[in-house]
Every structure is written in C-alpha cells, then in structure tokens.
C-alpha cells in the first residue's frame, strides 16, 4: 500500500546503555514524554538486543518532519539535553526515514 508525503516521520538512533543506568534512563525518557508529545511525538520504542550485546535502538515517530524540526529547536530542549538523564547513555546519530509502505 503506497503512502503519501504527509505520513509520519520515523527517526532511528543507536544508543549505548550500561546495565547500571537502564532504570534511570527509562525514568528520564518518561520524565520528558509529555514535553515531546506537545511537540508532536506520536510514539517511542526502545529496543535492546535480544542477546544483550551491542547497541540499543530508539525508534520515534513524529507527526511530520516539521514537528520534529520544531522539537530540535524547542526552547526547552537544551535543558533536556543538559539533564543528568541525558548523560547516562551514549547517543548515536539520528537517521530519518519516510514511510514508503505499510499497514
């Protein structure tokens, strides 16, 4: 099923989370959920390797590319990035994906 250009933007990034920081990292994600929802995040999934080895994936879905761009320059974002929770993990680069098909 083809989809149009107004479909949500999906972003994927890798992250390294040490076992001792997992609970605090999840709490940090949860603590800024409402803020990100105000800027148009629709969904966030954090995937860890089934074998426990390697990078984790963070998959987010945004209302649009424009919504994601607004989040990147939001006045609140520097405080989120400077918070102790952000320093708990090593983030990889964000890769953006357009929806090509799906159900």
Tens-place pLDDT, residues 41-66: 999 999 999 998 999 999 999 999 99
Q: Please check whether residue 1 lies inside any domain of the structure.
A: no
Q: How many domains does the chain have?
A: 1
- Identify the band that residue 80 occupies on the pLDDT scale cut at 50, 70 and 90: very high
Q: Please check whether residue 34 lies inside any domain of the structure.
A: yes
Tell me what the pLDDT averaged over the chain comes to. 92
**Percentage of the chain lying above the pLDDT 90 cut:** 84
Q: Please check whether residue 47 lies inside any domain of the structure.
A: yes
Which position has the token pair 């918070």? 83
Q: Please check whether residue 16 lies inside any domain of the structure.
A: yes
Which position has the token pair 């148009």? 40
Q: Please check whether residue 4 lies inside any domain of the structure.
A: no
Q: What's the domain range around 76?
A: 9-98
Cα(50)–Cα(66) distance, rounded to whole angstroms? Answer: 34
CA atoms within 13 A on the CB side of 68: 20
Q: Please check whether residue 2 lies inside any domain of the structure.
A: no
Cα(56)–Cα(89) distance, rounded to whole angstroms? Answer: 10
Q: pLDDT for 94-103, tens place per residue?
A: 999 988 888 8
Q: Please check whether residue 17 lies inside any domain of the structure.
A: yes
The CATH number of the domain holding residue 22 is 3.30.70.100
């Amino acid at each position: 099923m083809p989809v149009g250009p107004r479909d949500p933007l999906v972003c994927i990034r890798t992250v390294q989370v040490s076992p001792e920081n997992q609970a605090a990292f999840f709490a940090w994600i949860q603590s800024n959920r409402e803020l990100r929802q105000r800027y148009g995040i629709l969904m966030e999934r954090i995937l860890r390797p089934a074998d426990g080895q390697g990078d984790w994936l963070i998959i987010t879905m945004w209302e649009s590319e424009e919504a994601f761009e607004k989040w990147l320059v939001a006045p609140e974002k520097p405080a989120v990035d400077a918070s102790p929770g952000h320093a708990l993990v090593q983030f990889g680069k964000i890769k953006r994906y357009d929806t090509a098909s799906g159900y």
